[in-house]
């Protein structure tokens, strides 16, 4: 019997991960914890400008299924929504942090319609069902 076969599950779980696994897990580009990160003045101004200049703004993440539902809702309504994929932006985490301060919402999608904060996917779907979304959009 090999040594691995004789280890109990708890002993196996307590073993340190191989170095190669640690490298793969830590290879994602992220800021070091505690490292200073300058707030981009552009992020705060950009959020306000985007919300003012577009009928619909969706702050999204490309992998998020709830974001996909929200984006599809606007597509079905033939509404040209301005979509920002925060996970694909170099300072997307700063945008999300500023959105949290502005709206109190941590999650995406974070939706604005005609300058008003609607909320996330559930709120947007409810606004459509109630007719509030069509009313805001003048449809």
| Tens digits of residue pLDDT in 102-124 | 999 999 999 999 999 999 999 99
Q: What is the pLDDT of residue 45?
A: 85
Residues 108, 97 contacting (CB under 8 angstroms)? no
103 by Cβ neighbours in 10 Å (0-12 / 13-18 / 19+) ranks as middle
Distance from the first to the final alpha carbon of the chain: 72
CATH number of 42-137: 3.40.30.10
Pick the residue with more confidence: 11 or 139? 139
Query: Residues 29, 35, 41, 42: what is their CA dihedral angle, to the nearest 10 degrees?
Result: 0
| Tens digits of residue pLDDT in 87-105 | 999 989 999 999 999 999 9
Distance CA 122, CA 93 (A): 22
Q: What is the pLDDT of residue 43?
A: 74
**Model confidence, pTM:** 0.70
Q: Are strands 56-60 and 82-85 parallel, antiparallel or unpaired?
A: parallel
Q: What is the pLDDT of residue 105?
A: 97
Distance CA 77, CA 71 (A): 10
Q: What is the largest CA-CA distance in the chain?
A: 73
């Amino acid at each position: 019997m090999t040594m691995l076969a004789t280890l109990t599950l708890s002993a196996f779980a307590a073993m340190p991960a191989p170095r190669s696994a640690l490298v793969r897990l830590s290879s994602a580009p992220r800021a070091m914890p505690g490292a200073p990160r300058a707030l981009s003045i552009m992020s705060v101004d950009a959020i306000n400008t985007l919300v003012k200049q577009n009928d619909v703004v969706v702050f999204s993440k490309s992998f998020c299924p709830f974001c996909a539902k929200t984006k599809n809702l606007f597509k079905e309504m033939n509404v040209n929504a301005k979509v920002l994929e925060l996970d694909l932006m170099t300072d997307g985490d700063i945008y999300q942090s500023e959105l949290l301060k502005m709206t109190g919402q941590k999650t995406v999608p974070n939706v604005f319609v005609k300058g008003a904060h609607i909320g996330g996917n559930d709120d947007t779907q409810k606004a459509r069902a109630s007719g509030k979304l069509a009313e805001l959009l003048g449809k």
